[in-house]
Structure 1
């Protein structure tokens, strides 16, 4: 267990943080609490904790001042900030002082687990680095050699190396980018490395973890054909699936790219680059797991890009007419056919960079919105910056198509309601989302992003339609659910407050009394 201390000037918050959250599940033990930064430094000197969780605004010494002092005097101690203020300046200063996390009050369990599991991983990595000052020298040399070969550097150093002298070389990349985004990086990387070493060592094939990818250099005394290599790769994938279980149920978590064979070790870098290119084609087929470069009809002809560019205005005209017609008819149009038509050329043009596709999609949105604005059809509910940013976050062509359909239907709805005061559909969607997700953290920013609306704009129309602020509505739904649990179950009040999404028991009591006129305890006795 790693030791942690909690610092907050409010005793009830210190106690709740120390006793309510499952520290043991994330690998920590609370060894003390302090009411301000000065007392915290005394406690740090006494307990030598691995981590500190501290509030920002406290008397005598603020949390940021404490973080700065810890960073200077106890550099191996990690600091996590807890604040009631979602303020960029605080976050910026926190980064400057080496803070490992910036959490918001009330602290949600999902955020707690996310931050402290990662922090425990970092501590384990630090520990492993200290305890493993000298790894197996032969393994070190092999990894450095493979790194040089895939980068194409220091090649003259390996001219006499018998362990890389072969008739054929082929680079395989197992990319775990999405997997490592969704789960515990350190433990999974360690497990994958162990499985890979055990599997590939039997063939005397070197491996290397580079970034979030496992690099495998296949060597043989003859040409390594696709039909011979593929079964071996699938067997390794089965090994990973058997040992990592649920992580491999979703195939989108994982992709393999294979470069073409090279016949000189000096050309291994070329095979590596081809493998990188191959696994990037996951973007075009989100269900394909193993992609060989030789199966891709790579065509860098600039005429293809010119052809797509020339067709852009045709697509804009078609979609614009589609949306204007929708506005005249007063019905939200289904945009599936228009989007499929827009993306159809990309299926015929092979070798087009993913960046070019994203750029074209951005261009479509920008020109379309400009055209509509020229006609006096302003889309005040659309946050253009958010929309364009989302295009570059999406990591598959099919998902981009689904998103663009949703985007165009949102614009269609906006145009239909441009002269109307009733934005009830937006409000209904928001209410439905709250009813389904009231147990989770829900913010104004989250719901605005889901509806493609400016945050201030959504807040205004929600209040206009309902007569109350969005967060007040969220609390109202949570209180209604709490009332049901208080009437029909024997759960403790603290448990109920957590079940309905309140992470602060005192805040739950306050909101409940504001809504019902009595405290939860009195309500249950009635």
Structure 2
């Protein structure tokens, strides 16, 4: 097998020489792309997903060491080799810190080339062999949790195994917020170390880590809980703030079973247990055995009968807000709407989402009947959001914000001179410019279709929304450059830019000079 490699150097003649002069196939590699800087290389990596990257150190836009750092962060399985004209210990030391596999000097000699890349190819082969072994175990565990192909595993469980139990670590919310690949890799490494220590099997399935515990005696909650907390502590110690927020993950644990045929049942119970997080935002580890799972169909009918009363009450309050000119305080109304659901935790989550959708549909229909159609609100987008939200707490917060926005829109429906959505967006940017802000984020927050919001913002301000965000950030950066001694890269991070090179580009477009020149003036 040939391993894919990308070559990165800002000098075209060196790129061409590296790509065509050296016998890559003899070392086990195929050159699948060349790039003239680190930024271009990252785009190429997304497309080609190479096994290795050979990069120069000193390049514009992004240095080789900065590229190595980004690769280590987002593509930790890719091997990086540095090529430099400088035999500088400082560069070599930095390269080691970013996991670089080799440090070669220009001009590159064939002996040095073979020494580094034949060893690299061997390391890649060893990695694949280890993955193949892990893959066999993963396929077995996948069959067991699905209850499929069970007969072929009969000989793999000895007679002393008396108990099985499945735990699921769900990272759905975490993976919505961060780059999934590098975090998934790190979690997998920590899970492998933990599972080797306790002789349990694990599998990443979707956005969840599935752990199968086996023992010669019953796998009790008392025995399992300390191990789960040890693994959670390991995640927090190695991944910091991502796991200090208990809303970023939840653990569901199924009941113990006595035969491997019943593992799929324990798995389904674990899935049910972690879905219970929807109702209880305070629990991180939820055992199926602790849940009251017998639903009461009578509660469902009672809740449906109450819904129309809530719709009428909310509509009345919103109409009152038009007369008083004050945004209705709807928190209490929303709490009343959801109160029956808190008492009926066993009610399917789908029923809760359905009731919330019906509330929105009926409310908008009633307002439309009175000639108060809110054309700026994208109903399909709003209804879709209901099914994306993964906790009752978040759904309550969202519905409160939604109803307050409707109230705000009703109050200002006759004000043609000022677009309230634009004012709200500007205010949000000024308060949150340090955070990641996209057109999609702000459209979701205002319950508007992306294209509609983009159009009204451009019409009101004469500029694109992202240009406005960058303008605010540059203004803040100017203040920091004038009044503090922070390094420019630190200031770039402080005002919300994800890339230092992009900050330099935007700053120069806004002010006419780079941040370095501006500070010297």
TM-score, normalization by structure 1 = 0.69
Contact 1:171–1:218, Cα closer than 8 Å, also in 2: yes
Separation of aligned partners in 1, 2:124 and 2:518: 55
Aligned to 1:120: 75
Aligned to 2:114: none
1:260 deviation in Å? Answer: 1.6
Alignment of 1:217-256 (within 5 A): 217-256=212-251
SS in structure 2 at match of 1:170: strand
What does the per-residue CA deviation read over 1:243-262, in whole Å, with 9 as the maximum and x for residues that have no partner? 54444311222221111222
Aligned to 2:183: 185
Contact 2:504–2:514, Cα closer than 8 Å, also in 1: no
Separation of aligned partners in 1, 2:466 and 2:147: 56
1:432 to 416, 419, 427: 427
1:370 deviation in Å? Answer: 1.4
Separation of aligned partners in 2, 1:237 and 1:142: 23
Alignment of 1:177-216 (within 5 A): 177-181=172-176, 182=178, 184-201=182-199, 205-216=200-211
Alignment of 1:219-368 (within 5 A): 219-300=214-295, 302-368=297-363
Aligned to 1:503: 502
Contact 1:207–1:214, Cα closer than 8 Å, also in 2: yes
What does the per-residue CA deviation read over 1:154-210, in whole Å, with 9 as the maximum and x for residues that have no partner? 222344444365333222222233444525234313322233223312xxx444443
Change beyond 3 A, Cα 1:429–1:117: farther
Alignment gaps of 5+ in structure 2: 23-29, 54-60, 81-119
Separation of aligned partners in 1, 2:240 and 2:488: 38
Separation of aligned partners in 2, 1:139 and 1:445: 39
Aligned to 1:398: 393
Aligned-residue RMSD, C-alpha = 4.6
Change beyond 3 A, Cα 1:457–1:214: closer
Number of residue equivalences? 449
Separation of aligned partners in 2, 1:383 and 1:352: 29
SS in structure 1 at match of 2:271: helix
SS in structure 2 at match of 1:315: helix
SS in structure 2 at match of 1:257: strand
1:332 deviation in Å? Answer: 0.3
Give yes or no for the alignment of 1:31 onto 2:30: no
SS in structure 2 at match of 1:288: coil
Contact 1:143–1:207, Cα closer than 8 Å, also in 2: yes
Change beyond 3 A, Cα 1:293–1:286: same
Contact 1:426–1:451, Cα closer than 8 Å, also in 2: yes
Change beyond 3 A, Cα 1:214–1:466: closer
Separation of aligned partners in 1, 2:412 and 2:493: 39
1:54 deviation in Å? Answer: 9.3
Contact 2:174–2:249, Cα closer than 8 Å, also in 1: yes
1:447 deviation in Å? Answer: 3.2
Separation of aligned partners in 2, 1:113 and 1:463: 39
SS in structure 2 at match of 1:503: helix
Contact 1:168–1:223, Cα closer than 8 Å, also in 2: yes
SS in structure 2 at match of 1:132: helix
Change beyond 3 A, Cα 1:364–1:49: farther
What does the per-residue CA deviation read over 1:404-437, in whole Å, with 9 as the maximum and x for residues that have no partner? 1011000011111112235465444333333344
274-283 vs 153-162, greater mean Cα deviation: 153-162
Contact 1:4–1:50, Cα closer than 8 Å, also in 2: yes
1:450 to 445, 448, 465: 445
Separation of aligned partners in 2, 1:492 and 1:223: 58
SS in structure 2 at match of 1:32: coil
1:291 deviation in Å? Answer: 0.6
1:399 deviation in Å? Answer: 0.9
